[in-house]
Structure 1
Amino acid sequence: MRERLAHPQPLRTLAGAAAFSPFYFHQVFREITAVTPARFLATLRMAEARRLLLHSNLSVRQVGARVGYASPGTFSAQFGQLTSTPPSRFRTRARALGDARAAGASWWSRPHRQPYGGAPAMVLTRAPEPGSLVCACLMPAGSLRVHRGRWAPSTGLSRVSLTKPPACGEYAAFCMVIPAGTRIVDALVNDVPGSLHIGRARLSVSERPPPAVRAELRRPAPTDPPIAALLPLACPPDAAGPT
């Protein structure tokens, strides 16, 4: 997927590369990564698009073509839907971050409501170091569609609040930690090794969600979806432009 972002990658072709039937490949892929092949590919494309928007002067149309979108409108719509920010605005905000580093602030995210009653928590194997930026999200299993407001910034403790599941079903919970002193764009755009740690867990909701799920805090693996590509960016307080 990573080597052919600009090319069509139908399920049958991907399954053939793994020597599986399309049905079995789809099942195994989702079991390992927590998302479907199509969602994983879409997020890889968004991650590369974010890097190009930050580091190149390519137009939005050209960036979309580089990551496999023949239609500029489709690219902009998909980018905005997955990342909650249009491509041009993301470029402005990412460049405004400059050399800003994690220092326990939460201005990178929109103001959020406190977790509703009955919302579960993610308990990490170890607490993030003081001053880290910590956030978590909950999404339906197999999907990477994070609804606006579903990101829940945290305080850096080992217990991270999640949002309340909207309905019964299977969910994937993700936690992202940007260590103190790390450049924020390195973690959220540049994919610099060591700039981001994640926790991932499954959550099954029947009548009510469990009070907590446990997750190992670790560096991202190749089989982890690039979840950082879905986190909305906001300008730092002293930067120009809307937040």
Structure 2
Amino acid sequence: MAEEVKLFGMWASPFSRRVELALKLKGIPYEYIEEDLSNKSSLLLQYNPVHKKVPLLVHKGKPVAESLVILEYIDETWKNNPLLPEDPYDRAMARFWAKFIDEKLLPTSARIGQSTGKEQEQVIEEVHHHLKTLENLLKGKEFFAGHSIGYMDIAANIFFWFYVNEEISETKVLTAQKYPTIYEWIKKLKNIDAVKECLVEKEKFHRFIISLREASKSK
């Protein structure tokens, strides 16, 4: 029942959208609660006192935090439409590459806008190295998970935000010329109904990113 599952999220967060996508792929009814991260609700702070951030899943009154942890919880709780592979080694590899995205690609990508000159060139080169690794991992497959969308594909939804952000950025890193396999994968994902429902509205996201940049310049 929807009242058993609540998701505290933020519309522009790819981490929130990861969880939404997993819930939709599983067909799990849920109540979505949009959070204003500049004025977090008392419920969010109560349920997630450690990190105080979204996404946060609450199932039967019990909170689960951190997007990758939530994905595994969802997969273990609702057995239909499994997200992780059955084979233990394949499961371990899916977890490994999801952590690679969160711990390698994302932090390095964030440094692009925080650096200039020679330092920025080195950061971009490092990002290309990470992207090439994922491009090679995906080659010869329809999805990271194989023939259908799975845990790793959900974790990699960050590419949508990367892609839309670059449309208004002076620095172009994730291009179709350099990463044709990733671009083909994005096209396939966009044809999945659950994915379509979780995509952000492009112009709204552009305005959000521009406002963040302007706010950071004024500090």
* TM, length-normalised to structure 1: 0.25
Higher relative contact order (CA 8 A, sep 6+): 1
Name whichever structure is richer in strand by fraction. Answer: 1
